[in-house]
Structure 1
């Protein structure tokens, strides 16, 4: 039996951030990971997808240069092996960086599947990594981890559950990595398809629809709700849908899947539209993006006195400490139910909070209302805080201002439309900020501080935004709400 201060189960964003912060606070940490540290975000999700979305943005730029600016340039073809090689190099370098940080911090990483055997005890059994896009050899991947057959561990301070999530799949239509894919394998399917049917209009589905359209595929995007990004502000959905349709994406909202199956030339699906029609949709590839489910199989929750809630999450008994009903067992990342948003940057914050709790500190709870949400499509969306509808439903007296990005010079330069929408309490703080347009993922941080610090529009209006920039539209929106509108009345 081995002993340590903290045992972290799962090496994704929530797990490794817990381990790094705990080690920095002087705790002895063991991290058990069955595959590769970095988790889904690094190896199959956030990083590889954003790398490819950057390539897609370059393709879109060439099209805009030709059609709008008179630059006689064309895209002859997309060299898929070269594109994916660059993506894989970015992932590999990030992976080595995470392993290096853990090694430098003194975190002991065990390659294996961890199972709870009690409220403070864990068994780790050896597993071979499932693989991933990183091009380095298998031996290189495990240089900085301990390969064990079986070890028993106890934790003096506590155990952190950070086993993440997996894509939900359609019953009877299991992913095969070629014709039917999920967000975990869509980027690594062979070649670029001529046509894609994307099922699910949340952030993941929208991003992948945008990516494939930019790279030349015909794309149909199907969402059961009455609008894309149904959890975001309705104006965000409206502007996003308009932008995607303008780029040639076929968008079907209020449409439910009736049936789907493989065919010799790809996949076929029947959907029931909002009008009651039942068209057959055909595509070379079906991308299922209908959400993610927590991973708890083999975790041994019962042995520690824990159970999942009806949705499969491991809910904390104390959200200020992210501690379960079993003292000393904490949860971070995708295992948490809402209000945790299941986003990597929220997982970082959750991991740091738990590490500080285990070290005996009293950190501030995670402010989930101030966690920004970004969709990296074209156009991009970014938001923080309450939508207009949610703010009104809360019973507050609300004031709203919406400003088009094209109302400022830099927005005209980009020529992609978009907007800034500010939702505030009457004579009170800003409750939400919502952006649609180019590069808004890089603009939302200011609004995160505005919402997180309960600033009022007049507070923001005192600060000068640089000219000419897209951020001017944010400043102008607050100026107008503060009664000092310059270019907007």
Structure 2
């Protein structure tokens, strides 16, 4: 006999568990199905533990550059096992926190692998056998995994995905990172700061290619200065693993191929959605390159069946998944005034050194859309707090509609910009124009003053540079 619920959520990542909590708040009887660990990839193997690693490399960087701050550190070193252990403990603490939230909100947790055996019916295979769950609604939030190619496959020893790169048994000496998106550039930054010789290969003509062109150019100069070798318009044609390392054949921008040796390789070539073996095809769910097609509210077109998060396509971000979960649940519950997902207001953050953050249109995309723009830019070197921190490299860039003053996009690179970007996200959500931003008082001395100055600069009114 089936257990009956108002909602069954398939997957407990930041989309799934947030959706479950919101549904419980709205009075629904909820079950959540998870085959591994509550919190999904983000909490256990992605967003959170990588930030713990990057915090370690940041501190280690300061230790090895202590003299710049008038401090003295002799023979700075690290214990890789303890570095990894700290990262895993951070993930473990948050995993326990999600378990507590499920209990607090009376969400039934079902451990095992779930499959749709009806539009709103899930069969779960777990350690105790099979369990049948019937619901009025089902949300598919099964996420995604690291993408591999036929000639680029991980073995967990010498060729890593992000999961292997987070729990290394040994420190790479010479590392090849394939792909320069957020995941690739973050691991490149971490291992470079920890002492590895790092090379990054990117097929496109610039690194972090989804970002504004000015940000990409600045990032390439910054990481090159740090010692990272960047190869753009390049591709890895072949990798051969051995006991002591990897031989990689790389085709460069000049069309010529060359082979070099590395101790390890990280594959950061994108993600693949977890839509296989869920029973979607038999239900008539529409897929686009493996991703579930939904409307702005998470509806799949199959009555009672919803989908959110990475499984529905770009941007593959935890905060996007969480917000989609809330939208879907509130829509199914009949909450009034629910707005569809506006992907243009989703911020993107990269936690390398330097950090990158952005929201909205790049300058190029705004012009491609036929917008007449006003662009402002303010450098970190013109900001007192940045200089005091010893972090004077970077800039803030804002793009406005020249006719209406609409904030079309904001793009930042430098220290702590992942914290600053939310100010512009709120401004865009409130449909703020340059006038309101100009009249806003920013505290001094703060890095946020650069946000104000960038707005002023777009209109020829910058004060400090």
The TM-score bracket by the shorter chain reads over 0.9
Report whether the alignment pairs 1:381 with 2:381.
no
1:85 CA displacement: 1.8
Structure 1 residue 411 corresponds to structure 2 residue 386? yes
Contact 2:349 2:355 (C-alpha < 8 Å) held by counterparts: yes
How far apart are residue 25 of structure 1 and its match? 0.6
In the alignment, what sits opposite 2:462? Answer: 485
In structure 1, C-alpha distance between the alignment counterparts of 2:278 and 2:53, rounded to whole Å: 33
- Asked if 1 retains the 8 angstrom alpha-carbon contact of 2:84 and 2:168, the reply is no
Where does residue 160 of structure 1 map in the other structure?
A: 139
Given that 2:362 and 2:399 are in contact with CA atoms closer than 8 Å, whether structure 1 keeps it comes out as: yes
* Aligned position for 2:368: 393
Q: Deviations over 1:14-57 (max 9, x none)?
A: 11111010001100001111111101001111111000000010
Q: Does structure 2 conserve the Cα–Cα contact (< 8 Å) formed by 1:40 and 1:184?
A: no
Paired position in structure 2 for 1:223: 202
- Tell me if structure 2 keeps the 8 A contact 1:383–1:433: yes
Do structure 1's residue 274 and structure 2's residue 253 form an aligned pair? yes
Quick check: 1:359 aligned with 2:333?
yes
Q: Deviations over 1:409-451 (max 9, x none)?
A: 2232324410111011003211000000011111111011122
- For 2:398, the equivalent position in structure 1 comes to 422
**Alignment-derived partner of residue 208 in structure 1:** 187
2:234 is matched with which residue: 241, 251, 255?
A: 255
Contact kept in structure 2, 1:62 and 1:74, CA below 8 Å: no
Q: Aligned partners of 2:274, 2:159: CA distance in 1, in Å?
A: 21
- TM-score norm. by structure 2 comes to 0.96
Aligned residues of 2:151 and 2:238 also touching (Cα < 8 A): no
Deviates more, 1:168-177 or 1:402-411: 168-177
**Superposition pairs of residues 135-146 of structure 1, within 5 angstroms:** none
| Residues 161 and 332, structure 1, Cα contact 8 Å, conserved in 2 | yes
2:126 aligned with 1:150: no
Bigger mean CA offset, 168-177 vs 437-446? 168-177
* Separation (CA, whole Å) in 2 of partners of 1:459 and 1:427: 16
1:485 positional shift: 2.6
Task: Supply the distance in 2 between the matched residues of 1:482 and 1:219 (Cα, whole angstroms).
Answer: 41
Q: 1:190 to 1:416 in 2, by over 3 A?
A: farther
The answer as to whether partners of 2:13 and 2:38 remain within 8 angstroms in 1 is yes
| TM-score, L = length of structure 1 | 0.92
The aligned counterpart of 1:20 is 21
Instruction: Determine if the alignment matches structure 1 residue 437 to structure 2 residue 411.
Output: no
Give the corresponding residue for 1:132.
Answer: none
Alignment of 1:243-392 (within 5 A): 243-309=222-288, 311-316=289-294, 318-319=295-296, 321-338=297-314, 341-362=315-336, 363-392=338-367
What is the CA-CA distance between 1:263 and the residue it aligns to?
2.7
C-alpha distance in structure 2 between counterparts of 1:397 and 1:168, whole Å: 38
Is the CA contact (8 Å cut-off) linking 2:377 and 2:457 kept in structure 1? no
Question: What's 1:448 paired with?
Answer: 425
Shift of 1:482: 4.1
Q: Deviations over 1:96-125 (max 9, x none)?
A: 000000111000010011111111211111
- Residue 53 of structure 1: SS of its match in structure 2? helix
**Structure 1: 5+ residue stretches without partners:** 128-147
Change (3 A) 1:307 1:75: farther
- Report the secondary structure of 1:185's partner residue: helix
Is the 8 Å Cα contact of residues 377 and 397 (structure 2) preserved in structure 1?
A: yes
- Equivalent residue, structure 2, for 1:474: 451
> 1:44, 1:465 → 2: CA distance?
37
Q: Tell me the equivalent position of 2:438.
A: 461
355-364 or 423-432: which moved more?
A: 355-364
Deviations 1:54-75 (A, max 9, x none): 0010011122322x23422145
Equivalents in 2 of 1:103, 1:226: separation in Å? 49
Cα pair distance change 1:170/1:78, threshold 3 Å = farther
8 Å CA contact retained: 2:374, 2:459: no
Report which stretch shifted further, 2-11 or 57-66. Answer: 57-66
Given that residues 381 and 441 in structure 1 are in contact (C-alpha distance below 8 angstroms), is that contact kept between their aligned partners in structure 2? yes
Q: Distance in 2 between matches of 1:276 and 1:173?
A: 20
Among residues 132, 145, 155, which one is paired with 1:176 in the alignment?
155
Are the aligned partners of 1:179 and 1:286 in contact in 2 as well (CA < 8 Å)?
Answer: yes
SS at match of 2:148: coil
Note if contact 1:200-1:289 (Cα within 8 Å) is conserved in structure 2: yes
CA–CA distance in structure 2, aligned partners of residues 152 and 390 of structure 1? 48
Supply the distance in 2 between the matched residues of 1:70 and 1:281 (Cα, whole angstroms).
Answer: 40
The separation in 1 between residues aligned to 2:92 and 2:18, in whole angstroms, is 19
Looking at structure 2, the residues matched to 487 and 55 of structure 1 have their Cα atoms a distance apart, in angstroms, of 34
| 8 Å CA contact 1:196, 1:220 repeated in 2 | yes
SS in 2 for 1:443: helix
Alignment partners' CA distance in 2, 1:365 and 1:282: 49
Q: CA deviation at 1:483?
A: 4.6
What SS does structure 1 have at the residue aligned with 2:8? strand
Whole-angstrom distance in 2 between the partners of 1:376 and 1:104: 32
Q: Structure 2 unaligned segments of length 5 or more: list them.
A: none
Residue-by-residue CA offset, 1:292-350 (whole Å, 9 max, x unaligned): 000012211123222422x100001x32x210110111110011124xx1100111101
